[in-house]
């Protein structure tokens, strides 16, 4: 999917919501455990109920890998279902991979070609040759971790390198990578005021923003400091939506939560004449 297609979907649906599919057998409604593939059945129900309220889905790969081969099958079925039934959705493999060149090339093939995700999250620690293999795929997007929303972000990401925080160095240096037009960045919502500084370095790039809701970030603040003329934001919510209820009507409860967020996002877009 091109970035233009993503922007068009955002304007059409009046939402920049991304729904995180952190699907956990211990948290899904118990009645689904009788199904042959409970993870897929859960995802399918959530997707069918919420697709008109969001523009992206983000399976967290760890949750699937934790179930071994069965988990991997559920992941394959989920991305196939999305690509077949809702091809307008931007799909994100939240994998946080990053390795030397030939290994990164393997991951790129696995997620972009075999599974056919539109994008993948990548850790920057190993630098240029660990990221560029992902950037060489046309109309595929690499979402680099810059400033994450967890407490450990302060261990290294906000430390200063020659007077500039590491996460800013990641933003600045990655712009010089071959294929950098395919970069997006993870920026945690718990530090919305950092977005002013971030936008000085990457004024137009799309940001994937976790941490709104459960992790305490504010949608209003994120928009105030981070929105661009092409919106430039994907705001993720996982647990707050998908685990809204464990009753039989869990999908409907998820829809209501997603609908709330879509409504808030529409207001933010309308108030800035971005639709």
The yes or no reply on residue 115 touching a second copy (CB under 8 A) is: yes
**Whole-angstrom Cα distance, residue 129 to residue 152?**
25
Least Cβ distance, residue 88 to a second copy (angstroms) = 25
CB hemisphere CA count around 152 (13 angstroms): 1
Per DSSP, 93 falls in state E
Q: How many CB atoms lie within 10 A of CB 11?
A: 16
Q: How many residues bind a second copy (CB under 8 A)?
A: 54
E strand intervals along the chain: 17-21, 56-59, 90-97, 119-122, 141-147, 160-161, 164-165, 183-187, 207-209, 233-237
Using CB under 8 A, which of the segments 36-44, 47-55, 101-109, 251-259 binds a second copy? 101-109
Per DSSP, 33 falls in state G
The yes or no reply on residue 152 touching a second copy (CB under 8 A) is: yes
- Among the residues of 175-229, which ranges form H helices? 194-201, 219-226
Using CB under 8 A, which of the segments 40-48, 166-174, 192-200, 222-230 binds a second copy? 166-174
Q: How far is C-alpha 163 from the geometric centre of its chain's CA atoms?
A: 30
Nearer CB in complex with a second copy: 136/266: 136
The yes or no reply on residue 249 touching a second copy (CB under 8 A) is: no
**Whole-angstrom Cα distance, residue 275 to residue 271?**
9
Six-digit token string for 184: 């997006």
For a second copy, the binding residue among 4, 34, 68, 84 (CB under 8 A) is 68
For a second copy, the binding residue among 1, 123, 225, 272 (CB under 8 A) is 123
For a second copy, the binding residue among 4, 34, 162, 193 (CB under 8 A) is 162
Is 159 among the residues known to form the active site? Answer: no
Nearer CB in complex with a second copy: 155/249: 155
The yes or no reply on residue 63 touching a second copy (CB under 8 A) is: yes
Per CB under 8 A, residues contacting a second copy are 22, 60, 62-63, 65-69, 72-73, 76, 96-101, 103-104, 106-107, 109-110, 114-115, 123-131, 145, 148-157, 159-162, 166, 169-170, 173
Name the residues annotated as catalytic.
96
């Amino acid at each position: 999917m091109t970035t233009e297609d993503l922007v068009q979907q955002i304007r059409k649906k009046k939402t920049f919501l991304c729904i995180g599919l952190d699907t956990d057998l211990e948290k899904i409604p118990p009645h689904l455990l009788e199904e042959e593939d409970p993870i897929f059945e859960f995802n399918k129900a959530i997707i069918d109920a919420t697709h008109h309220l969001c523009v992206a889905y983000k399976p967290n790969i760890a949750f699937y890998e934790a179930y071994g081969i069965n988990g991997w099958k559920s992941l394959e079925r989920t991305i196939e279902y999305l690509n077949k039934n809702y091809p307008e959705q931007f799909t994100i493999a939240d994998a946080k991979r990053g390795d030397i060149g030939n290994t990164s090339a393997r991951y790129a093939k696995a997620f972009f070609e075999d599974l056919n995700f539109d994008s993948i999250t990548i850790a920057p620690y190993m630098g240029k040759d660990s990221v560029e293999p992902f950037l060489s795929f046309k109309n595929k997007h690499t979402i680099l971790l810059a400033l994450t929303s967890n407490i450990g972000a302060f261990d290294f990401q906000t430390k200063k390198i020659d007077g500039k925080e590491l996460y800013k160095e990641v933003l600045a240096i990655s712009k010089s990578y071959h294929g950098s037009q395919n970069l997006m960045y993870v920026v945690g919502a718990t530090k919305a005021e950092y977005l002013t500084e971030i936008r000085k370095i990457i004024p137009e790039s799309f940001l994937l923003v976790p941490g709104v809701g459960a992790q305490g970030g504010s949608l209003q603040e994120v928009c105030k400091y981070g929105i661009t003329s092409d919106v430039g934001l994907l705001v993720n919510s996982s647990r707050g939506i998908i685990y809204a209820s464990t009753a039989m009507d869990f999908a409907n409860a998820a829809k209501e939560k997603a609908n709330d967020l879509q409504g808030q996002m529409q207001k933010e877009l309308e108030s800035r004449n971005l639709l």
